[in-house]
Structure 1
Amino acid sequence: MTMHRVLTILGCALTAVLATAWSAAPPTQPAARPTQAAAPTTVRTHHGLVRGAAHDGYRTFEGIPYAAPPVGRLRWAPPRPAAGWSGVREATRPASACPQPAGEVPGGSTDEDCLHLNVTTPDGARPAHPRPVVVWLHGGGFTTGAGSSYDAHRMATRGGVVVVTVNYRLGALGFLAHTGLPGSGTFGLADQQAALRWVRAEIGAFGGDAHQVTLAGESAGGYSVCAQLASPASAGLFDRAIIESGPCTGRADRPFAPSAVPLSTARATGTDLAAKAGCGSARDVMACLRRAPVTRLLAAQEGDQQPAYATPLLPRDPGAAITSGRFHHVPVLLGSNHDEGNGWAAGIIQAGNPVTPGTWLDVAATFFPSPGEAKAIVREYPVHRTDGGPVFGAVIGDANFACPTARTDHLLSAQVPVWRYEFADEHAPPLTSGTPPFPLGAPHASELPYLFDLGGRPRDLTAAQHRLADTMIDYWTAFARTADPNGPSSPHWSRRTVQSLAPDHIVATGTTRTRHHCGFWNGLTTPDNGSG
Structure 2
Amino acid sequence: MKDVSRRALLALSGAVGVGGFAASAAGGSSAGRSTAGPDATVAHTPLGVLRGVDQGGSIVWRGVRYAEPPTGEHRFAPPRPVRPWNGTRAADEFGHAAWQVRMAPGQPVSPHQDEDCLFLNIWSRGKRGRKPVIVWIHGGAFVFGAGSDYDGTVLAERADVVVVTINYRLHAFGYLYQAERAGSGNAGLLDQIAALRWVRANISAFGGDPANITVMGESAGAMSIGALLGTPAARGLFHRAIVQSGGARPIFSETKTATDVTNALLRILGISPSHSDRLLSVSASELNQAAEKLASDSDMGGEHFHPVVDGEVLYTHPLRSLSGDVDLIVGICRDEANQLTKLLPQFGTGLKENTRQLVGSRVWAHLNTVYQRTTSAGRDAEMDLLSASFVGMPSVWLGAAARSAGARVWHYRFDYPDAGPAGPVHASDLMFTFGKVDPKQLKDGADFKVAQRLADTMVDAFTSFARTGCPEVDGRDWPALAHGNGRTMLFEPKFTLAASLLPTQQVAAWRHVDPTLF
Structure 1 counterpart of 2:403, from 401, 413, 421: 413
Shift of 1:445: 1.4
Counting matched residue pairs gives 480
Map 1:340-419 onto structure 2 (within 5 A): 340-347=336-343, 368-369=356-357, 370-382=360-372, 390-414=380-404, 415-419=406-410
Corresponding residue for 2:300?
none
Map 1:424-463 onto structure 2 (within 5 A): 424-430=415-421, 440-452=422-434, 462-463=448-449
CA distance in 2, matches of 1:185, 1:457: 40
CA distance in 2, matches of 1:207, 1:140: 30
- Identity percentage of aligned residues: 31
Corresponding residue for 1:117?
120
The answer as to whether partners of 1:22 and 1:454 remain within 8 angstroms in 2 is no
Structure 1 counterpart of 2:476, from 491, 508, 513: 491
CA 457–205 in structure 1, closer or farther in 2 if over 3 Å, else same: farther
AA in 1 matched with 2:318? P
Corresponding residue for 1:280?
272
Corresponding residue for 2:15?
22
AA in 1 matched with 2:475? S
Shift of 1:36: 9.1
AA in 2 matched with 1:111? D
Of stretches 477-486 and 263-272 in structure 1, the one that deviates more from structure 2 is: 263-272
The alignment status of 1:62 with 2:62, answered yes or no, reads yes
Map 1:9-408 onto structure 2 (within 5 A): 16=9, 18-19=11-12, 21-22=14-15, 26=19, 30-31=23-24, 38=36, 40-102=40-102, 106=109, 110-123=113-126, 126-127=128-129, 130-248=130-248, 250=249, 258-280=250-272, 283=275, 285-286=276-277, 288-301=278-291, 302-303=294-295, 304=303, 305-322=305-322, 327=323, 329-347=325-343, 368-369=356-357, 370-382=360-372, 390-408=380-398
Corresponding residue for 1:436?
none
Point out where structure 2 has 5 or more consecutive residues left out of the alignment.
28-32, 296-302
Shift of 1:281: 5.7
Aligned-residue RMSD, C-alpha: 3.4
The answer as to whether partners of 1:133 and 1:212 remain within 8 angstroms in 2 is yes
Shift of 1:274: 2.5
CA distance in 2, matches of 1:78, 1:364: 34
The answer as to whether partners of 1:464 and 1:503 remain within 8 angstroms in 2 is no
Shift of 1:514: 2.2
CA distance in 2, matches of 1:14, 1:72: 38
Write out per-residue CA displacement over residues 409-433 of structure 1, whole angstroms, 9 at most, x where no aligned residue: 2221122111111111111135xxx
Shift of 1:52: 1.1
CA 373–300 in structure 1, closer or farther in 2 if over 3 Å, else same: farther
CA distance in 2, matches of 1:352, 1:495: 33
Corresponding residue for 1:437?
none
Point out where structure 1 has 5 or more consecutive residues left out of the alignment.
1-11, 251-257, 356-361, 431-439
The answer as to whether partners of 1:364 and 1:377 remain within 8 angstroms in 2 is no
CA distance in 2, matches of 1:416, 1:146: 30
Of stretches 238-247 and 42-51 in structure 1, the one that deviates more from structure 2 is: 42-51
Of stretches 310-319 and 59-68 in structure 1, the one that deviates more from structure 2 is: 310-319
CA distance in 1, matches of 2:34, 2:331: 39
| TM-score of the pair, normalised by structure 1 | 0.81
User: Aligned to 1:264, what secondary structure does the other structure show?
Assistant: helix
CA distance in 1, matches of 2:441, 2:8: 19
The answer as to whether partners of 1:137 and 1:221 remain within 8 angstroms in 2 is yes
The answer as to whether partners of 2:339 and 2:425 remain within 8 angstroms in 1 is yes
Of stretches 159-168 and 15-24 in structure 1, the one that deviates more from structure 2 is: 15-24
CA distance in 2, matches of 1:388, 1:17: 27
AA in 1 matched with 2:431? P
Corresponding residue for 1:482?
468
CA 309–83 in structure 1, closer or farther in 2 if over 3 Å, else same: same
The answer as to whether partners of 2:120 and 2:147 remain within 8 angstroms in 1 is yes
The answer as to whether partners of 2:14 and 2:145 remain within 8 angstroms in 1 is no
AA in 1 matched with 2:381? V
CA 243–106 in structure 1, closer or farther in 2 if over 3 Å, else same: closer
CA 107–507 in structure 1, closer or farther in 2 if over 3 Å, else same: closer
Q: Which has the higher helix share?
A: 2
CA 307–389 in structure 1, closer or farther in 2 if over 3 Å, else same: same
CA distance in 1, matches of 2:128, 2:134: 18
CA distance in 2, matches of 1:319, 1:295: 36
Corresponding residue for 1:254?
none
User: Aligned to 2:280, what secondary structure does the other structure show?
Assistant: helix
The answer as to whether partners of 1:346 and 1:389 remain within 8 angstroms in 2 is no
| TM-score of the pair, normalised by structure 2 | 0.83
Shift of 1:403: 2.5
Corresponding residue for 2:30?
none
CA distance in 1, matches of 2:317, 2:34: 49
